[in-house]
Chain A
Amino acid sequence: MSNSSLRLDGDRGRRVDITVDGMPCSAFEGETIAGALFAAGRAHSRHTPIRDAVRGYYCGMGVCWECALVVDGRPNVRACMTLVQTGMRIETQAGFGPPMAP
């Protein structure tokens, strides 16, 4: 099985175009950010604040916060709990991420 087939075969419905760290990426309606990233062969979401260690999707149910990343400039968005939307800008989170807009 190659990376391109991590999505199971079948009609996935409407395509949703997003960007991941500036690169265009295709996802499908109903997928979470985590699902779209894993399907693209990418498991990481962030670099930790203290050790700059790379982390990603671990519990898959919103509990561990390891998959937190930056979405449309907003930090600490959980990839596993957030559905993709057209035009979403997804970025790897560095540390605590960019400051929140007031």
Chain B
Amino acid sequence: MTATIDIAIIGAGPAGLAAARQAARHGASVLILDDNALPGGQYYRQAASPALRQIARDVFDESERAAPLLEALRDARVRYLPEATVFALFPDGVLAYVRNGQTESVTPRSVIVATGATERPVPFPGWTLPGVIGAGAAQNLMKSQRVVPGCCILVAGNGPLALLAAANLVRLGASVVEVLEAAQSRSPWRHISGLVREPAILLRGIGYRTTLLRHGVPFRDGHVVVEALGRDRVEAARVAPINADGVIDHNRARVLTVDTVVASFGLVPAVEITRALGCEHRYDAGKGGWTPLRGPDLQTTKDGVYAAGECSGAAGVEKALLEGELAGAAVALRLGYDAAEASVTMRRVQARLARLERFRAAIEALYVPPSSFSALLTDDTIVCRCEEVTCAEAQRRLDDGATELNSLKAVTRMSMGRCQGLNCLPTLARLVAERTGRPLADIELPRPRPPMRPVSLASIVAEPGAGDVESR
């Protein structure tokens, strides 16, 4: 059940698709694996039926905008496997995935990891109540379902994605009560030299603010949601301003009647695969956390393993597309295809990426939150959703001397549940750093081990059916 191909790409989002298109263009054979039913990732998430795609097309035209990228999937050199969950990439280069309830594997000559990013978990009291959803979750309801999440919505968090989700909700006619941005208002003029590098993206951002203004939706800088209230669903949210010194001012808290809280605190790069492989990573708060170290060709510290897009630092779709293109060209060059052409592509894309990085740095500076979100935690706040561990329990274990993530994990089972730590590790790392006085960059994350995604034991032991010749 092992086939050899030039490049396996993990993830069919903007970076993965751009990489596939570029690599195939240079002559390489490509296999794209993605756990979703449709290609496009989160950014180009499409509705599953033609009828749904026709609804609200003035706001969401993902299918049309993704069309040139999706062309790549029609290339004879590209094989695309949807609903394929990659659960292991072994050091000997064998990549294992589950599809249709069965395990299959390939041994590609190179791998491009384009796994994207996930919502940054920021626990606050009540954040596990149904009706508290991430910005990505809100976007997906809108994009793929043409449904808005509630009747009365609070959008709160940190970073441009909260603003984007709020603007989309408003454009679709949803009632957004307020939009809260934890960062204090800063003058954009100090960062103007970076911002003007990407006028189109800048204009888009201004457009989101204008949409809120036009619809009379209050946008408050230096405010945060401090509690979601309700029994079986959000019924209200307590919000509070953050003082100039970074302290949440609970005396000035207000309660808003809402049935939905869209909580958006940015993204965390999905680096389980590169970490499990032992690629070197570095912590960079501005990029969303740990990201793989890469050379100018986007190769990680493991030979033949490349990382492209949000999994190497969350910075938006433009960067993901460019990095995909760069990685696709770099791998093709490495494998000996079309060398002159690939080098030209790489140089062009590298110059463009440098400009984008200056823009990203300016945005990062504008959205620096005033203080640690740990101030939102109360004793009863759940920090690990899967294993239902509260902040008080985690703190007690820290008191008992479990001041490394691995020991904390061993005594509480935190990060061992179905999400495999995606919803708790950033918080736990923060708690350990604050307790020990060490910088976050010094906190060692537990090494992910296969299976990195929940797959049934039955599917791991099942042999591919006799009819499944294409994967042999």
What interface size band does chain B fall in?
A: 35 or more
Q: Give Cα A1 to B444, complex, Å.
A: 47
Q: By the criterion CB–CB under 8 Å, are B388 and A48 in contact? A: yes
Q: By the criterion CB–CB under 8 Å, are A35 and B145 in contact? A: yes
Is A91 at the interface (CB under 8 A from chain B)?
no
Q: By the criterion CB–CB under 8 Å, are B141 and A38 in contact? A: yes
Q: By the criterion CB–CB under 8 Å, are B130 and A44 in contact? A: yes
Q: Which residue of A lies closest to B233 (CB)?
A: A43
Is A83 at the interface (CB under 8 A from chain B)?
yes
Q: Which of B130-148 contact A (CB under 8 A)?
A: 130-134, 136-141, 144-148
Is B202 at the interface (CB under 8 A from chain A)?
no
Is B55 at the interface (CB under 8 A from chain A)?
yes
Q: Give Cα A32 to B37, complex, Å.
A: 11
The verdict on A55 contacting B128 (CB below 8 Å), with A44-B233, A63-B419 known, is: yes
The verdict on A6 contacting B422 (CB below 8 Å), with A28-B49, A53-B128 known, is: no
Q: Give Cα A35 to B118, complex, Å.
A: 20
Q: By the criterion CB–CB under 8 Å, are B130 and A9 in contact? A: no
Q: Give Cα A13 to B53, complex, Å.
A: 10
Q: Give Cα A7 to B146, complex, Å.
A: 6
Instruction: Find B52's partner among A9, A13, A58 (CB 8 Å cutoff).
Output: A13
CB distance from A64 to the nearest CB of B (A): 5
Q: By the criterion CB–CB under 8 Å, are A6 and B144 in contact? A: no
Q: Which of A33-62 contact B (CB under 8 A)?
A: 34-35, 38-39, 43-45, 48-51, 53-62
Which among B36, B50, B133, B388 has the greatest number of chain A C-beta atoms within 10 A? B133
Instruction: Find B141's partner among A13, A29, A34, A49 (CB 8 Å cutoff).
Output: A34
Residues of chain B at the chain A interface (Cβ within 8 Å) = 35-37, 42, 47-52, 54-56, 118-119, 128-134, 136-141, 144-151, 172-175, 232-234, 260, 382, 385-388, 417-419, 422-423, 454
Q: Using A8-B146, A29-B48 as known contacts, list a sample of 10 further A-B pairs with CB atoms less than 8 Å apart, ordered by residue number in A.
A: A7-B146, A10-B51, A11-B51, A11-B54, A12-B51, A13-B51, A38-B149, A63-B118, A63-B423, A65-B454
**Could you pull out 21 A-B pairs where Cβ atoms are within 8 angstroms?**
A1-B175, A6-B150, A6-B151, A9-B55, A11-B54, A13-B51, A29-B48, A39-B147, A43-B150, A43-B260, A49-B388, A58-B133, A59-B133, A59-B137, A59-B423, A60-B134, A60-B141, A61-B118, A63-B119, A64-B423, A83-B48
